[in-house]
Chains A and B, each alone.
Chain A
Amino acid sequence: MGALDIENVGLRFKLRSGDEVVALSNLHMQIPDKQFAVIVGPSGCGKSSLLDLVAGLKEASNGICKVNGIAVRGPGAERGMVFQNYSLFPWLSVQKNVEFGPALRNAPERQRAEKARHFIHAVGLKGFEDAYPTQLSGGMKQRVAIARALANDPEVLLMDEPFGALDSQTRSVMQELLIDIWEKHQKTVLFVTHDIDEAILLGDVVYTMSARPGRIIDTIPVDLPRPRHYDLITTPAFIELKRRIHKNLHHEVHKAIAAAAAHA
């Protein structure tokens, strides 16, 4: 049993035309405790849907997701999530956004404020506690979202292309920040991206997903030493891993495009 088990999970839905689409088919994954697992796949392969299933925001057509052996039935605080669009509460200050989870459970005010401050400092936003989300840049918003998820102390952290909307310089800064935080507060993470560099840089293991219907077609352990830094991406070991993932992925992207063209 892993911290997160995905057993024979499938997802189908009907289009308005009546055609059935198989988004995910018979997926198996076992993610051990405190592993940073990354799924990389072509867009539209169903990798985000998989996160929604684990989060309990969508219901699987078949199969089951388990967190520490307990089957997922609906969303819960033990599975925190960071979204691509930040999804901060605009009416709450940075401090209150980060306190949101503990406040839902009526955690003592002192304690939750303390905890929120700790994670706000950890993501480098000291001094922005009283700012509102509209006053922040995209990268800063995503820092708040990460702090908010971590302050809720989830058993599993789900990250749905969290840096996908950021410019490339901000993205590399955020990747280093996430590596740093993860190396300090080890958590089980399931991270979804279409960026191969990001996948290798962050992950203990990289799963490559096929075009729709999404399946895991390759599992690559990333044995690069930690603590990791951004300059890793120019090393031969990194490039070798990248070559392998790229080859698989490139093939799947072509399949996805061909399928879309056949459908149109």
Chain B
Amino acid sequence: MAAVTQPRVELLYWDGCPSHPQALVDLRAAMADAGLDPDAVEVREVDTEHGAADERFVGSPTVRVDGADVDPPPEAEPAGLTCRVYRLRDGRFSPVPDPAVLREALTDAMRRSAL
């Protein structure tokens, strides 16, 4: 059986939006649930429009697992310093990703790494 490697988990945020502390709590809980080290998450602030363009940052918070957005935005979504709008699985608007989406992104990444 192949060893499972810890995926690279990133949380990108802009301080002008108050949602990133909740996103970090949810993300760390999802990592712990998946048997991953919750402290391994890389937290990075994006604080300029230039930085947002460089990072393809479409809003705060953005969570990436092995470089892939856990809730991919539309292709045409512009980069910029803004609060990101998520839709939960039940259809509600939310400032943070659905915790179920976080868990699935992590388990999918672990499954891929085990192949």
Do A and B come together as binding partners? no
Instruction: List the interface of chain A (C-beta within 8 A of B).
Output: none
Instruction: List the interface of chain B (C-beta within 8 A of A).
Output: none
